[in-house]
Structure 1
Amino acid sequence: MVSHRRSTPSGFTRGVRVTVISAAAATAAATLTGAPASADPQDTRESAKAAVDRLYGEAERATERYNEAAERVDRLRGEAERSQDATARGQERVNRMRDALGSMAGAQYRAGAVDPALALLLSGDPDTYLERAAALDRAGARQAMTLDKLRHAQRRLAQTRAETTRALAELERNRAAVTRHKHAVESKLRAARRLLDSLPPEERATFDRASRSGRGEAPDLSGVAPGSGRAMSAVAAAHRALGRPYVWGANGPSGFDCSGLMQWAYAQAGVSLPRTSQAQRYAGRMVPLSQARPGDLVAYRADASHIGMYVGNGQVIHAPYPGAPVRYDPVGMMPVSSVTRI
């Protein structure tokens, strides 16, 4: 997770794209180093903190795009491998049919080298000739059938090869997308760290340690109505992850990003969730926030770029942002976009 502030200073837009992150970071840095002498140092520090919040938010959006692309790569890799196997099997079938046709053609050549009418005249046993002629007719029919099967097999093989080529090309495109999103995340996190390093040591330590909206302390859950059995198992698993570090692109067990924690916690309860926060918000039935129960997934921002798990008494457990371990925070730390019951 990232920014817990409800509003962003007007100097920073929320929709900054990956391609302009360097310029955005430079602008933020200039705010710190090039402020006029009359500028209030507190305002400058607040601007730096707001910029860090924004960069963390953008990093998390890029992380979810990275997760989605990585998941697609895994799926496409399986499809490409299956297509390659099908191509190899198809080629083997075609080769066997070609060998069979070659054998048939050789046998026919040897048996039919003499004109059939002349062979009948020269034959001392017409009945034997007629039996051989009937056998040749059957062999010809079998050859025609095999040839037809060969044509169909060749067409299927060409189609399978084309599908394999497309699957491999798509796989490479998505591998490239994974790399792009990885670089985007790393760039934003480096920019955020540079801004944090520009703060006085005591303020930097406070920023790294504290939640923007709470202290991350374990909430009092006495009297909370429980969720379903699997939901409570997921809550218990998430609780066991308390204190583990935020690691972008990770889904446990030693580190997590926001959607990775949700996926891992529910996996411990025997429930398979999609990898990204955007997909997780549609993994169950949506309910009003006022009816949230422990185990419900709480998605934040309109694009669901952050997600946590409701535990009761107005609290969620989540993986916040780099430098902040898995912890509890108020459910209202950011604008809630949906609540999903698994």
Structure 2
Amino acid sequence: MSSHRSHRRPPRPGTGWPARVTVLTAAASAVAALTSSMAAAEPDEGKATSSGTAGARVDRLYEQAERATDKYNGAAERVTTLRKRVEQLQDEAARGQAKVNRLRNALGSLAGAQYRSGAVDPTVALILSSDPDGYLDRAATLDRVGDRQRGQLREFESARRALEQRRTEAAGTLERLGTQRAELLRHKKSVQAKLRSARRLLDRLTPDERAERDRASRGVPRDEAPGGAEASSGRASSALAAAQRAVGSPYGWGQAGPSSFDCSGLTQWAYGQAGTSIPRTSQAQRSAGRHVPLSQARPGDLVIYRADASHVAMYAGNGQVVHAPQPGAQVRYDPVGMMPVSAVVRP
């Protein structure tokens, strides 16, 4: 796309696509509405203190934040796709406008020439001509010019229709982009609210409770992947090796490497290092390959957790997975049965 940027012309003052102005205004209104509506969206930890331990409530908040993070990642991916499409359409529209202008100028020149040459009735012109043979030659040329003009008219009309189509599509894409950006903001606020609540609950833990959580959050310390069955393919083996290299990296919501990761960001990055593209979200990764029984899991397989597929890890062998667990923790190994498994996927 970038090779065509030079075709764009800066808009003249007071001009522009009305659709774009409308979309941007609507998007701004949507963001303002979301900002006010999210002010009260943060969970009330005070009410939550009536049941369970503070640690359990923290875990529930992290689980909810993970679900919101998956939605955020999906919205971010759609925003990126739509933004690229808008740029492509704008480049195409700029080139289309340049073509329409060029054809319009050519048609104007032909029309002026015909007017100057054809203003006099051909019969009278022939009678008055001092060179009838020369006039007949010029008349034949004018006929040929007329045929060429008709072809250029058809080309002009086709170019004009294509330009309008690009503009209409760009306006619609801009509208969808505004909607997705508002959704992205909503999910981001949801994640941040839950993480703030979890942090406040963590701050209330006793020293003993905090120490216990710290021990649990370290998971299984290993420098290498657990032994066991061989990977199902070379790319699965390479993906697992990449995930191994990420062990010890911090969790970062919405991050897909190379220095921090959320759960689906880790698995996407690892397979990307192996030259294989898989979707960004854990829900989409559930459909990224062939499903196999947990009993047949092999290193490099994706292990999808919970019925809503809100967490994903990579099977490392010997009943262990490597994954990015939650905020405050590092990429680590844990038992494959650490939470309910909903699917095992072999990309």
Taking structure 1 as the reference length, the TM-score comes to 0.85
Which whole-Å deviations, capped at 9, do the CAs of 1:227-262 have from their partners, x for residues lacking one?
A: 322212211111111111110001111110000110
Which whole-Å deviations, capped at 9, do the CAs of 1:180-206 have from their partners, x for residues lacking one?
A: 111110001001111111221331232
Runs (5+) with no aligned partner, structure 1: 1-18, 36-43
Whole-Å separation in 2 of the counterparts to 1:140 and 1:156: 24
Residue 16 of structure 1 corresponds to none
Residue 325 of structure 1 corresponds to 330
Whole-Å separation in 2 of the counterparts to 1:20 and 1:125: 86
Output aligned runs, 1:142-181, within 5 Å. Answer: 142-181=148-187
Residue 337 (structure 1) aligned to one of 317, 338, 342:
342
Residue 228 (structure 1) aligned to one of 204, 229, 233:
233
Whole-Å separation in 2 of the counterparts to 1:275 and 1:193: 27
- Residue 216 of structure 1 pairs with residue 223 of structure 2: no
Whole-Å separation in 2 of the counterparts to 1:88 and 1:24: 45
Output aligned runs, 1:17-32, within 5 Å. Answer: 25-26=43-44, 28-32=45-49
Contact 1:63 / 1:249 at 8 angstroms: preserved in 2? yes
Residue 14 of structure 2 corresponds to none
Whole-Å separation in 1 of the counterparts to 2:111 and 2:345: 68
Whole-Å separation in 2 of the counterparts to 1:106 and 1:201: 90
Letter in 2 for 1:216: V
Contact 2:38 / 2:189 at 8 angstroms: preserved in 1? no
Partner of 1:195, secondary structure, is: helix
Partner of 2:276, secondary structure, is: coil
When the two chains are superposed, the root-mean-square deviation of aligned CA atoms in Å is: 2.1
Letter in 2 for 1:175: R
Residue 293 of structure 2 corresponds to 288
Kindly tell me: are residues 31 and 103 of structure 1, through their superposed partners in 2, closer, same or farther at Cα, counting changes over 3 Å?
Answer: closer
Whole-Å separation in 2 of the counterparts to 1:98 and 1:169: 31
Which whole-Å deviations, capped at 9, do the CAs of 1:278-336 have from their partners, x for residues lacking one?
A: 11121111101010001100000111110000111111110000011111111111110
Residue 315 of structure 1 corresponds to 320
Runs (5+) with no aligned partner, structure 2: 1-36
Whole-Å separation in 1 of the counterparts to 2:316 and 2:201: 33
Displacement after TM superposition at 1:120 (Å): 0.9
Contact 1:317 / 1:327 at 8 angstroms: preserved in 2? yes
- Residue 136 of structure 1 pairs with residue 145 of structure 2: no
After TM superposition, the structure 1 stretch with the greater mean CA deviation from structure 2, 126-135 or 74-83, is 126-135
- Residue 258 of structure 1 pairs with residue 263 of structure 2: yes
Whole-Å separation in 2 of the counterparts to 1:222 and 1:238: 15
Whole-Å separation in 1 of the counterparts to 2:38 and 2:154: 59
Contact 2:250 / 2:260 at 8 angstroms: preserved in 1? yes
Taking structure 2 as the reference length, the TM-score comes to 0.84
How many percent of aligned residue pairs carry the same amino acid? 61
Displacement after TM superposition at 1:21 (Å): 10
Contact 1:29 / 1:195 at 8 angstroms: preserved in 2? no
